[in-house]
Structure 1
C-alpha cells in the first residue's frame, strides 16, 4: 500500500466506527477514497441535492443544518456526515457548510454499501448522536454477566421452607438436614401462605443458643420479620445492590407470593469476581479502627476489579457507597460500644454521593446527625459530639477525608433535632439566597444510614412536598445550576483549564456529572420525587410529562457515559500507581471516548437550555 494511503488509514482507524473494522475492509475503503478541499464558508451539501459520498473530516470543521436552517450539529476531525441521505435515496436531508478550511475524505456510495456489511459500522451510522450513546453503553454492559444474568441463575435447589409455627428444635433440624443457612417462614393462617419471616444460622447462634432458649420456643420468637426480598426477574447486579444497601446475607427470591429460592452472600461472591459484598461482610467483623483501616486498603482494588469487569456506573457507584456506608455503620457501632447507648434516639445521615449511591474512590465525608426532638443540648450533646468525632476521625483513617466545607456531624450546626432540620429546609426553600442554594445542592441528597432512619424519611417527604410547590425556589436552583457548563466549545472542541496544575485538562466531575446531577435534582424536586439516586430520579421524572419523553433517555445515556469515562480514568490511575482524580486530558482518551463524550456534553448543553426555559431561570433575581 502506498505511503499516502497508509497515512489515511492510520488516521481513520483512530476514530469510531472505523476503529472496530477489520484491516482488509479498511484497506479496500481507503483505496477508493477521494480527497476534497473546501474553503471556509463553502456549501458542501445542499438540501435536496443528490449525494454519492460519505464524508469524513480529516481537518477543519463543518456545520450541519436542519431543513429549517436551524443549526443541528458541528463535526470536526475524525467525524462523519452525510450518512442519513445515503440511506434515504441518496438525497441530502441535512445541509452541510465548511466553517473552517476543511479537508474531507469522500467515501463513494458503493464503498459505503460495502461498509454496511459490518455490524459495528451499521450500528454506528443508523442512529444519531444520542442514540449512539445508548448503543455504546449497551454494548459495554452486554459483556458483563452481572448485568445480563437473572438472579434465578444462582438458585440451584428447591426452597426449603417451614410454617412460622414450628419450634426452635424442629427448625434447626430442618436446616441441618437440608444443609441450608437460612429458612424462610410462612404464615399459613390465611387463604394462601405468605412469607412472614426468615431465620438464619446466625439467628440461631445469637438469639437462641446465646440466651439458652428452650427447644420448644416458637421459631417466630427469634425470626426477622422485616424481610428484604428480590423478584425472580431481577438481574444478579440488582440482587447484589439490594444486599449491599440493606446489609443482608440471605435474600429470598420471589414469584409474587411464592418463594422461588434463597440466595446467599456466598452465591454472588462465587459468581462475581468484584468482591464488594465480601469486603462489606468483613467490615462488620472488625473490632477496632485499626482493623477497619487495614481493610480499607482493599477498596481501590475492589473498585478496579468492578471496572475491569465492565460493571456500569450505577452498579459501581452503589457498591462503593455501600462500602462507605458500611464503614460508617461499623464505626457508629464501635462508638456506641465505647461511649455507651445514646441518651436519645438519633439518625446518622449520609449526604451527597453516598446518599445518591454514586460514590467513587475520590471522595470526602459529607454527613450529619438528626436527633430526636426530645434532645436537650446541655444534657445530651456532649455524647453526640464525641460520637461524631469518633466516626469522623475513623472515616479519615479509612481514606474518607474530612470535608473541607465542614459538612460533617462534628459541626454543631449539622447535629440538630428533627424539628430544627425541618426549619433549615423550610428556610432554604422559602428564602433561596446564595448560601441556601449551596446548602440545597448538598443537603437535598440525603439518606439515613444508621439509627432511626424514619427521621430522614420524614425529611425527604418534607422536602419533596415543599420544594415542588415553590416555583421561585426551583427557578433559583435552575439559575444556580446553569453556572457549571460542560467543557465543549462552539466548534465541538473540548474547553480545557488554562492554568495551574490541571492545565490542558477538563474535570469530568465538576464539568460533567455534577451539572447533570444538579439539573436532574431540580426536575426531581419539581415533580415531588423522594428518589435520591440520579437514575431513580430520572425514572420518576419519566413517569411525568415534566420534560419531553426522549429527554429522559438522552439524559440517562449521557450521564452513564460521562460517569463511566470518569470511573475508568480513576481506575487507570490506580493501576498505574497514581493518585486518582477527575481531571482528564483529551489525548489520554480513546477516539471512541472523545467522540461519545462530545455527544454526551451536547446532551448536557441542550438539557441546560431546557432548564433555563422550563423554570424561567433567566428572569429570576436573587432575594
Structure 2
C-alpha cells in the first residue's frame, strides 16, 4: 500500500463508522478513495446532480444546505455527507459548499453501497444520522415559499418544439399553430454526424408581432432574422425561483431548459404562475367559485397536482394530510351550499360531520368518504327526513363524482343510522363508552374521530367534551378500544422479515394503510382518550400523550417518527403512481424500495409492534371479553 493510502487508512481508523470495519475491508475502502481539494466558497455538489460518491471531510469545513438555500449542517474533520442521495435514487439531495479550504475523501458509490448492504454495523451507524436527516427533510415549515425548493424540471410537460434556421416566418407560424405552442427553439444544422444541432435562438409570438408584423416584413422572412439570439436558459435542476429571477432580470417570458447541454423543454412565465397556483389555498378558492357538481368534478386534476407538488417539495405528512383534508372539507361545504340552493333552507338546524382521516387532518389522495348528520332535537322524521335524505344523497353523490368514493361500510349520511338528532348521538356515545363491547366499538370507532364541517359545528364541541369526560375514566371502554387496536398487526414475521400478500395489482405487497398508518392511528387514539386529549390529529394527540408521561421514555418520539416515515412512504408511492399514469393505492412491494427504505420501514413496523405490546400491557384488553 502506497504512503498516501496508508495515510488515508490511518485517518479512517480514527472515525466512526470506519473504526468499526474489519481491517481488510478498511484497506479496500482506503485504496478506492479519490482525494479532492475545494477552495473556500466553492460548490462541492449541487442538488439534483448524479450522486457518484460518498464524501468524508479530511480537513477544513463544509456547509450542507437544504434545497431552499437554508443552512442545514456544518461538518469538520471526520464528518461525512452524501449518503442520503446515494440511498435514494442516486441523486444529490443536499447541496454542499466549502466553508474553508477543504480536503475531501471521495468513496465511490459502488464501494459505499457494498459497505452499506453487507456490513450491518456500518449501515446502522450511517442510518442513525440518516434517520435524523429524514426527519428534518420532511418537516419543512408549513409557510415555506415552495418556489424556493422546486426545480424547473417539474414545469416541463413536453419536449421542445424546434425549427431549423433556414425556415421562414410563415413556416414558424404554422408550426406554432399546429403544435399549440407560443415559442420555438431555432436550431443550427449539425456541424458533423456526431454533433447534435445547437440552439441558435428562440422565436416567440411576441417576436412575430414586434419584429415581423409591425415592421411589415414578408412572410418568407427567414426566422434567423426575427428570432431572439441572445439566449438565456436554465439547467434542469435549477430552482423555479431562480428561473423566475432570470426572466425578470432579462425581461424574457420563455426559457429553454437544458440537461447535459441539450434542450429538454421550454418553460414560460405562465407555467410558473400556473405552478404557483397549484397549492391548497388556490384549489380551495377554486372550489368555492364552482357553480355545479360537474365543475367541481373537473377540479380533480388540480387536487392531484396539488398533492404531487407537495410530495415533490418534501412537505411533511402532516402538511400534506392537513392540506388534503382542507380540500376535502371544502368540497363538502360547497356541495352543501349547492344542495341548500337546490332544496331550499333546511327545515331544522343541522351539522354535517367529517369522520376518520378527514377529521384527523390526515387525508391523502386515495380516500373514501365517511360522514354523518347531526340534526336539531326538534327533528321530526315524518316532516323533515325527506329534505335531509335528499341533501345527504346530493352531497355523497357529489363527493363520489369528485374522487371521494362511497364508504364500503356505509358510514355516510345517506344511512338513516347515521342521520340522527343530537340527543340520540349523545345517547350513542354514552352507550358506547359506558356499556362497551368489542363489536360495538369495532363498528363505531371511526366516530371517535369527528369534526363539524357545516352548520351548527358548536354541537360537535359538546359531543367531544362528552367523549373526553366519560372515556378517560372508563377502563372497560379503553380495554375494548385497545383490543380492537390490536387486530391489525405490522407485517413482520418471526425473523423480522416482511410478510407480504397479494393486494390488487401488487403480487407481493404490503398495504401501508391497513398494516401501518391505520393501526398507528388506532393505538394513538386509545392513549389520547385515556389522557383526556381533545386533539384530533394523531401528531397533536401524541404531543398530549407525551406531556401526560404515560409512555416509557422516548416511545412517544418513536411513534411520531414511525407514523411520519410510514405515511411518507405511502404518500410517495401514491405520487409515483400518479406520475406514471396508474391508479394510486395504498400497497407497495418492499422489493421496489431501496435498502435504506426497507430497513427504515422495518424499524417503523418494529416500533408499531412494540407499541402494541405496551398497549396490551397498559389497558389489559383481555378484560374486554
> 2:477 aligns to what?
473
Q: What is the CA–CA distance in structure 2 between the aligned matches of 1:579 and 1:346, rounded to whole Å?
A: 36
Distance 2:109 2:508 in 1: 37
Task: Select 2:107's aligned residue among 4, 9, 26.
Answer: 26
1:620 to 610, 618, 623: 623
User: Paired residue for 1:206?
Assistant: none
- Compared CA separation, residues 148 and 551, structure 1 to 2 (3 A): farther
Q: Offset at 1:489?
A: 2.1
2:385 corresponds to = 381
Aligned equivalents of 1:543, 1:535: Cα separation in 2: 13
1:30 deviates by: 4.8
Alignment equivalent of 1:348, drawn from 331, 348, 352 = 352
Asked if the contact 2:349/2:375 (under 8 Å) is kept, the reply is yes
1:142-181 equivalence runs, <5 A: 144=140, 146=142
Change in 2 beyond 3 A, CA 1:140/1:530: closer
1:27 Cα deviation (Å)? 4.6
1:510 aligns with 2:514: yes
Of 113, 137, 140 in structure 2, the residue corresponding to residue 139 of structure 1 is 137
Given that 2:501 and 2:509 are in contact with CA atoms closer than 8 Å, whether structure 1 keeps it comes out as yes
Distance in 1, matches of 2:504 and 2:284, equals 38
Q: The residue matched to 1:402 in structure 2 has which SS?
A: coil
Q: From the superposition, tell whether residues 557 and 274 of structure 1 become closer, same or farther in structure 2 (CA, over 3 Å).
A: farther
Distance 1:348 1:83 in 2: 49
Partner of 2:459: 455
Q: Is the contact made by 2:501 and 2:507 (CA closer than 8 Å) also made in structure 1?
A: yes
Correspondences of 1:164-243 after superposition (within 5 Å): none
Aligned partner of 1:358 in structure 2 is 362
**Helix, strand or coil at the partner of 1:530:** coil
> Equivalents in 2 of 1:402, 1:355: separation in Å?
17
Q: CA deviation at 1:411?
A: 0.5
Residue matched to 2:605: 601
1:266-305 matches, cutoff 5 A: 274-305=278-309
One of 317, 330, 351 as aligned partner of 1:326:
330
The answer as to whether partners of 1:464 and 1:525 remain within 8 angstroms in 2 is yes
1:371 maps to 2:375: yes
Instruction: Spell out the pairing of 1:109-128 with structure 2 (5 A cutoff).
Output: 121=126, 124-125=127-128
Question: Secondary structure of 2:623's partner?
Answer: coil
Specify the SS of the correspondent of 1:461: helix
* Residues 175-208 of structure 1, C-alpha deviations (whole Å, 9 max, x = no match): xxxxxxxxxxxxxxxxxxxxxxxxxxxxxxxxxx
Question: Do structure 1's residue 532 and structure 2's residue 536 form an aligned pair?
Answer: yes
CA distance in 2, matches of 1:18, 1:294: 40
Could you tell me which runs of 5 or more consecutive residues in structure 2 were left unpaired when the two chains were aligned: 1-27, 33-50, 55-81, 93-103, 147-272
What is residue 402 of structure 2 aligned with on the other side? 398
**Is residue 429–residue 466 contact of structure 1 (8 Å, CA) maintained in 2?**
yes
Cα pair 1:345 1:452 within 8 Å, conserved: yes
Question: Hey, what does 1:563 align to over in structure 2?
Answer: 567
Q: Give how far 1:434 is off.
A: 3.7
Asked whether the equivalents of residues 349 and 369 of structure 1 are also in contact (C-alpha less than 8 Å), the reply is yes
Q: 1:16–1:591: 8 Å Cα contact kept in structure 2? A: no
2:343 and 2:391 in contact (8 A); partners too: yes
Query: Offset of 1:56 from its aligned partner?
Result: 6.2
Structure-2 separation of matches of 1:83 and 1:312: 24
> 8 Å contact 1:349–1:450 — kept in the other structure?
yes
CA distance in 1, matches of 2:506, 2:116: 32
Number of residue pairs matched by the alignment: 413
CA-CA distance at 1:480 after TM superposition:
1.4
1:305-324 aligned at under 5 Å gives the runs 305-324=309-328
Normalising by structure 1, what TM-score?
A: 0.61
Structure 1 contact 351–366 (Cα < 8 Å) conserved: yes
Q: Is the 8 A contact 1:133 1:557 kept in 2?
A: no
Structure 1 residue corresponding to 2:437, chosen from 427, 433, 439? 433
Change (3 A) 1:612 1:81: farther
1: CA distance, partners of 2:607 / 2:618:
16
Q: Scaled by the length of structure 2, what TM-score is found?
A: 0.61
Q: Retained in 2: the 8 A contact 1:571–1:580?
A: yes
SS at the partner of 1:25?
A: strand
Instruction: After TM superposition, give the deviation of residue 580 of structure 1 in Å.
Output: 0.2
Which 4+ residue blocks in structure 1 deviate beyond 4 angstroms?
12-18, 20-24, 27-31, 81-84, 144-150, 269-274, 498-501
Q: 2 CA distance for matches of 1:440 and 1:577?
A: 36
Task: State the partner residue of 2:450.
Answer: 446
Question: Are the aligned partners of 2:486 and 2:612 in contact in 1 as well (CA < 8 Å)?
Answer: yes
Which whole-Å CA distance do the structure 1 matches of 2:474 and 2:485 have between them? 17
- In structure 2, what is the Cα distance between the partners aligned to 1:478 and 1:332? 36
Q: Secondary structure at the match of 2:358?
A: coil
1:294 is displaced (CA, Å) by 1.1
RMSD of the TM alignment (CA)?
3.3
- Structure 1 residues 360 and 17: alpha-carbon distance in aligned structure 2, compared to 1, 3 A threshold: closer
Partners of 2:453 and 2:524 lie apart in 1 by 23
Structure number with the bigger relative contact order (C-alpha 8 A, sep ≥ 6) is 1
* Cα displacement (A) at 1:306: 0.8
Counterpart among 568, 572, 592 of residue 596 in structure 2: 592
Deviation (angstroms), 1:300: 1.0
